[in-house]
Structures are given as structure tokens and as C-alpha cells.
Amino acid sequence: MGMTTNHYYPGLEGVVAAETRLSHVDGQKGILIIAGFPVEELADKATFEEATYLLWHDALPTAGQLQEFQQALAARRALPPATLALLREAAVAQVPVMDALRMAAGTLNLNVPATGGDPAHDQALALLARFPTIAAAYWRLRQGHAPIPPHEKLGTAANFLYMLSGEEPAAAAVRGLETYLNTVIDHSLNASTFTARVIISTRSDLVSAIVGAIGALKGPLHGGAPGPALDMVFEIGSAGRAEAYLRAKLERGERLMGFGHRVYKVRDPRATLLAAAAEKVYTAGGDMTLYNLVRAVEEKAVALLEEYKPGRNLKTNVEFYTALLLYGLGLDTELFSPTFAVGRVAGWIAHCFEQQAANRLIRPSSAYRGVWDRRWVPLGQR
């Protein structure tokens, strides 16, 4: 790249740190490619298992391969006793859901069924299968309810909704969640994915890499805040109040949650997909009130952001419609970030596999900016 040793790139912005076939983002044009597919071509057609198989194997599965993959996941969804015990302790302490997910993920190299093949692949299957079970079990424990065991006949998305409520979800709800999980399954070298690749590049284990990725994801600058984006809409309450509310927020210098992105300078293509998925979920539910309010708030917010911050291109991001869609599926706002992790863990694992295949330890340099000539002063003379 022609970088000098001491040149500093804050946040590593513009530094290419990996070559990948998994995903590509063009923020200027609003393009997201997932393993060769424009996200619009994949997200609302594939099951989550198909999208995951595509990332892991660089090809869509045949019917036989898909069935085998689904069966492998179904056999691994139940949590180890130690994981459940930890979640019960965490629930007593009312630990936030993302913290509980991080803690529980560290136990997932226990009770891993061996296939006789690569142990890392066995770990990958267990991580992918158990993430939804952890989130759902912990949520129910937090509410004072017993966890619901996974349903052996349901796929990942349907199982997650089933384990939260105990009821088999409607087809529209399953499709809505499948679309969401596929939409967030991978997104180039974001902070959590980079964290996973750094850890696995040391030849550490897969579980450690995924725990580190969760730690990065739970930071508010990365995992985002879809909950607050929806809270803002609830506070506004009606389309007629949107402009006054949003203007007051901007006048105070506050951020509008759900708008603006580090990469995208046009409307996030994932927001478009999730808006369409949300419309179908709310239509099936028979009440479009909240959906219509969200669309009205979005329109007003984008116009005011251009007025207050001209040229900044602060457009709708994935958080805004994540909130609307997941709320429409009956998920509490505290479950929004864990549900993101249920989808993104497939991408984290794919990046770990890719890093391992052509590994070089990720070890950037730092530019020293301290002094050079200090001399020791004995303790009595300080």
C-alpha cells in the first residue's frame, strides 16, 4: 500500500487488512454483496441455513446437503447443563442479555458432538446452533419463566421464535426473521468480524474468537442501537409531532438513532430490504399504524438531517427498520442486539475459516508519540 512506518490511520480507516470472498460493501452506491449475491437477490429468498451454507462453502447447498446441514444443527441446539446453570445465575443478577450471551458463549466448547471430522467445524456447528437457544433461554429466565427446549422439526429462525413464546410461529413471521438474519449475516471487515479474525490469526480456538467478537459487537458504536431508534418513534407518537420533536433533538445537538452509517453515504440497502419485510409482517398482523408512523418519521428525519447537516449524507441505516421488524415479530428491544448476533455469528465463523485457510498473524504497527530521554529518579527523590 506504500504506507510509511509511522503514518497513522485513525480507526484503521482505508487500510485493507484482509482479502475475502464473503462480502463486499460499496457505501457510495449502496451496494452489499454476500458471497457473490447482491443482498436483494439473497436475503428474502434463502433460508438462514442456505445463506450460512453459502458463506461457509461458497456454494448454495443441494437438497441433500441442506437436509444434512439442518439435521446437524438440530442435533446441537440443546445447551450444555453448565451453560444453563450459568444463565440461571446471570438471570438472578439481572445481567443484560448481551453480557449473558458473551458469558454463555464461552461455555460452548462443552458437550460438542464430534462428527469424526475437523473439531473446528464441530465447534462451528455448535456455536451456530446454540446462539438462538442461549438468547431465548436467557430471555425467558429473565422474565421468570422456564426455558423452552428447541423444536427438532423447526429451522433456526422458526425455532428462535418458538423458544421465546412456546408457540409455532406463522409463516410470515418466520420469513421476516429469515430475511433479517440473512441481511445481517456478514458485512465486510466490521469491528466484531475484525476482532474474530485477529483472535483466530493467533491460532486460538473458534470459541475464543466468537466470544471476542461478541465483546466488540456489544459496544454501542458497533452493535448499534435499534432499540433507541424505536423508542424515539414511540416518543413521537404521531406523524404530526415528528417535525417539532426531531427539530428539538437536532437543535440540542443530539443524534437521531437509526440514521447515518460509517460506510453508507446513501440509504443502507439493508434498510430497504427490512422495510419491505416489516411491511409484510405488519400486513399479516392486520395493524399498519406503527409501520406508517415509522415511514413518516423516516421521511421527516432524512429531510431535516439534510437541512441541519448538509452534505453529510445521513441516510436511513439498518437499525431503523431492524427495530420495526423485530418489534413486529414480538421481540422486546433488549433482544434486538442478541438477535443480530444470532445472524452475524454465521459470518464471524466464515471469516475465521477464511483466516485459517491462508493465515498470517494480524499484527499492525503503532506510531510512538512519547518522549525518548527520561532518566530514572529514585523513590526518595520524587
308 touches 199 (CB < 8 A): no
56 touches 353 (CB < 8 A): yes
CA–CA separation, 48 and 185 (whole Å): 9
Smallest CA-to-CA distance from 325 within 283, 265, 266 is with: 283
Write out the DSSP string of 265-279: SS--HHHHHHHHHHH
CA–CA separation, 192 and 261 (whole Å): 16
Choosing from 50, 187, 261, 298, the catalytic residue is 261
Q: Is 261 part of the annotated catalytic residue set?
A: yes
Strand partners, 62: none
79 touches 137 (CB < 8 A): yes
136 touches 148 (CB < 8 A): yes
HSE-up of 298 (CA within 13 Å, CB side)? Answer: 23
Residue 146: count of CB within 10 angstroms of its CB: 9
Smallest CA-to-CA distance from 368 within 3, 1, 5 is with: 5
What φ, ψ does residue 26 adopt, rounded to 5°?
A: -115, 100
Residue 44 in grid coordinates: 428474502
- Helix or strand or coil: residue 34? strand
Q: Which residues are CB-contacts of 121 (< 8 A; sequence separation ≥ 6)?
A: 115
Choosing from 49, 178, 298, 319, the catalytic residue is 319
Q: How far is CA 36 from CA 45, 194, 326, 344, in A?
A: 15, 20, 27, 17
- Over 244-259, what HEC string results? HHHHHHHHCCCCCCCE
Active site residues: 261, 319
